[in-house]
Amino acid sequence: MLGYIARRLLSLILLLLGVSMLVFFSIRLIPGDVADIAFGMQYGDSPEAVAAFRRLYGLDQPIYKQYATWASNVLRGNFGYSIRTGRPILPDILARLSVSTELAAGAVLLSLLLGVPLGVLSARKQNSYCDFGIQALGLVGLSLPSFWWGTMMILVSSKALHWLPPAQYVHFLDNPLRALTILFMPCIALGTAMTAVIMRMTRSSTLETLRKEYVQLARAKGLPENAVLYKHVLRNAAIPVITMSGMQIGYLMGGAVLVESVFALPGLGRFIVSAASQRDYPVIQAGILCVAILFSLINLGVDVLYAVIDPRIRDVE
Amino acid sequence: MPNTSNSRTPQTRSKTSLFLRRLLRHPSTIVGSLIVLAALLAAIASPFLAPYDPNKMHPKDALEPPSSQYALGTDQFGRDIASRLIFGARTSLVVALAAISIASFGGTICGLLAAYYGGLTDLLVMRVLETIFVFPPILLGLVIMAMMGTHLIVLIVTIGIVYMPQFARLVRASVLLLLRQGFVEGSRALGASDVGVMVRHILPNIVAPVIVLVTLRLSTAILIESGLSFLGFGVQPPTPSWGNMLSSGKVYMEMAPWVAVAPGVAIFCIVFGLNILGDGLRDMFDPRLRY
């Protein structure tokens, strides 16, 4: 087990090295000169001032040196400064990350609480009206664009209920009730697609497991159906569902960009969007790097969990 | 060798008719195909179907509710929403089709080479693609669009790159399974070249899963395109796209809800159609997954 985790950590480090290079060098893809674009837009562009700006941000150094400086700063937790506000980036990112985390956690919770039972129910009543109904709902959930779904929720609640969530964001730990009223609709908007995915995965995985010989054996032994379901079926059916959930959390972080914009939540996604529209390159760089690191860490966590549940995985790699 | 190629033609034809017959057996697949066909028709024949020029402004009729004159109402510039929706289908489908062509073509080549040659090629190709995989698609799209500028071509290539790793993974896994079956070794022993083996023996066997993934990814590509356009990083106004229609409609939502409702319904319908079609195709091609 430890060996497995060590191997995974090693490949994670390699992956993050690649990711950091991709993020760093992608900035150089911008047509034109970063300094000219970033600087000229703000302060006008006398050549001396641009040269000073380039020195300040190390842009006069050769590119591999720039990468080395940047990477060693990042490793020490210094993500640089915004070229728009001049503020250090990391504290801003962390503040927004907590909002996005609360949003994502709510959406994940919702999709597991709804998706897993619905999937199991659908599988147990296979080919009944109940099954078809749940499956149709799943397809609808999968096809709803989160940003439109969120917009429609706002529209209906303001038109029909004359109610809109409070505008000022409050953290869950500071005031749980108020936070819930704010996060309620965004979590549904963000979690609907994931609920559908989890439901579909749970259904097909449960159906597949129900056909296994060991399930027939358990039934033949005379175990009550519920015991068969909980002890033999669900435990095994959970494995692909867990992997899928891990991957979905990554997509969730992407979807959060849209939902945060719709509901005007001060999350990381919206932070990156506004940095992108202001062409604040250091912030874009740092923001997307953080998301990629998070995504890789979540995947690592899921893989380890996977190996804990299913010992066969450890030996395969 | 000539024998196999001779006997293949009639077999493929009967497979096609079998395929169509099986496709039509599932009612949901028929619904999916009809929705997708309707969207394709709207995209191809938009100038003939749209009652108005999508960019023609009728300032006197701004934010009109749906009526006999404007079936779905007008937007803040008095442009006919139904016409913009029909032309929007063209934008969305062109972007999605072109992007997924890039993704499936590039991904198939990468996955095929990685699996076939293995070793260092495999390691390099898959590691590079894995790096792309750790960025949520819409975020990666957003960043690339912010860097490279919001041109339609950039949007298409961006979505193509975003989805390339998924195709590469799928193709790699399918090819690895095929390689174990021995017929590839057999034809190599008969003197076939690497390219010959790949084109004649491997590719025909991995077409089915790739088609299923194409259908399913077309729907997510439409979601990504409309999402990026919604955020202002995709298709730029005045070119109508469902995403940018929704984003400009959101501002007037209180006064004129129809501006924001219509494009969302359009996105939902086409994505729904592609999803049920994809599900149906997967059930057909991969009976193991059918329950």
B153 close contact with A: CB closer than 8 A: no
**Confidence bin at B4 (pLDDT 50/70/90):** very low
Please determine, for residue B15, whether its predicted confidence score (pLDDT) is greater than 80.
no
Select the residue from B148, B162, B291 to test the A interface by mutation, using most A Cβ atoms within 10 A.
B291
Please determine, for residue B74, whether its predicted confidence score (pLDDT) is greater than 70.
yes
Q: What confidence score (pLDDT) does residue B8 get?
A: 46
What gap in Å lies between CA A63 and CA A13, rounded to an integer? 22
Q: What confidence score (pLDDT) does residue B210 get?
A: 92
Phi, psi of B74 (to 5 degrees): -125, 165
pLDDT digits (tens, 9 = 90+) for A173-220: 888 888 888 899 999 999 999 999 999 999 988 988 888 888 888 888
Report CA-CA distances (Å) from B162 to A276, B104, B154, B180, B244. Answer: 18, 11, 12, 30, 21
Please determine, for residue A42, whether its predicted confidence score (pLDDT) is greater than 60.
no
B130 close contact with A: CB closer than 8 A: yes
- Give every CB contact of residue B83 below 8 A, 6+ residues apart in sequence: B50, B51, B52, B53, B54
Select the residue from A151, A154, A252 to test the B interface by mutation, using most B Cβ atoms within 10 A.
A151
Contact across the interface for A152 and B232, Cβ inside 8 Å? no
Range with top average pLDDT, A124-128, A230-234, B91-95: B91-95
Q: What confidence score (pLDDT) does residue A40 get?
A: 56
- Give every CB contact of residue B225 below 8 A, 6+ residues apart in sequence: B92, B95, B96, B99, B155, B159, B234, B235, B241, B243
Q: What confidence score (pLDDT) does residue A224 get?
A: 86
Q: In chain B, which among 63-82 make CB contacts under 8 A with chain A?
A: none
Give the count of beta carbons closer than 10 Å to the beta carbon of residue A7. 12
A24-27: long-range contacts at Cβ-Cβ below 8 A with a sequence spacing of 24 or more?
Answer: A24/A66, A24/A67, A24/A70, A24/A71, A24/A285, A25/A63, A25/A67, A26/B143, A26/B144, A26/B147, A27/A281, A27/A284, A27/A285, A27/B147
CB B84 within 8 A of CB B54: yes
Contact across the interface for A276 and B142, Cβ inside 8 Å? yes
Structure tokens at A150: 């969120």
Nearest Cβ partner of B131 from A22, A123, A142? A22
Q: What confidence score (pLDDT) does residue A189 get?
A: 95
Percentage of residues of chain B with pLDDT beyond 70: 92
Give the count of beta carbons closer than 10 Å to the beta carbon of residue A164. 10
CA–CA min distance B197, chain A (Å): 28
**Confidence bin at B2 (pLDDT 50/70/90):** very low
Contact across the interface for B136 and A255, Cβ inside 8 Å? yes
Mean pLDDT of chain A: 84
Whether omega before B237 lies within 30 degrees of 0, making that bond cis, reads no
CA–CA min distance B46, chain A (Å): 24
What gap in Å lies between CA A162 and CA A160, rounded to an integer? 6
Closest B-chain CA to A37: B147
Q: In chain A, which among 260-279 make CB contacts under 8 A with chain B?
A: 261-262, 269, 272-273, 276-277, 279
Task: Please give the model's pTM, rounded to 2 decimal places.
Answer: 0.87
pLDDT digits (tens, 9 = 90+) for B190-248: 888 888 888 888 888 888 889 889 998 999 999 999 999 999 999 988 889 999 999 88
Please determine, for residue B7, whether its predicted confidence score (pLDDT) is greater than 80.
no
DSSP state of A168: S
A13 close contact with B: CB closer than 8 A: no
pLDDT digits (tens, 9 = 90+) for A72-91: 888 888 888 887 888 889 99
**Confidence bin at B289 (pLDDT 50/70/90):** very low
Identify residue B61 by its one-letter amino acid code. D
What gap in Å lies between CA A192 and CA A122, rounded to an integer? 17
Contact across the interface for A144 and B231, Cβ inside 8 Å? no
Please give the span between the terminal C-alpha atoms of chain B, in angstroms, as a whole number.
39
CA–CA min distance B138, chain A (Å): 6
Give the residue, B176 or B23, on which the prediction is more confident.
B176
Q: In chain B, which among 15-34 make CB contacts under 8 A with chain A?
A: none
**Confidence bin at A120 (pLDDT 50/70/90):** very high
Nearest Cβ partner of B268 from A26, A144, A257? A144
Q: Indicate the domain borders of chain A.
A: 98-279
Identify residue B155 by its one-letter amino acid code. L
Q: What confidence score (pLDDT) does residue B290 get?
A: 43
Q: Name the fold adopted by A98-279.
A: MetI-like fold (1.10.3720)
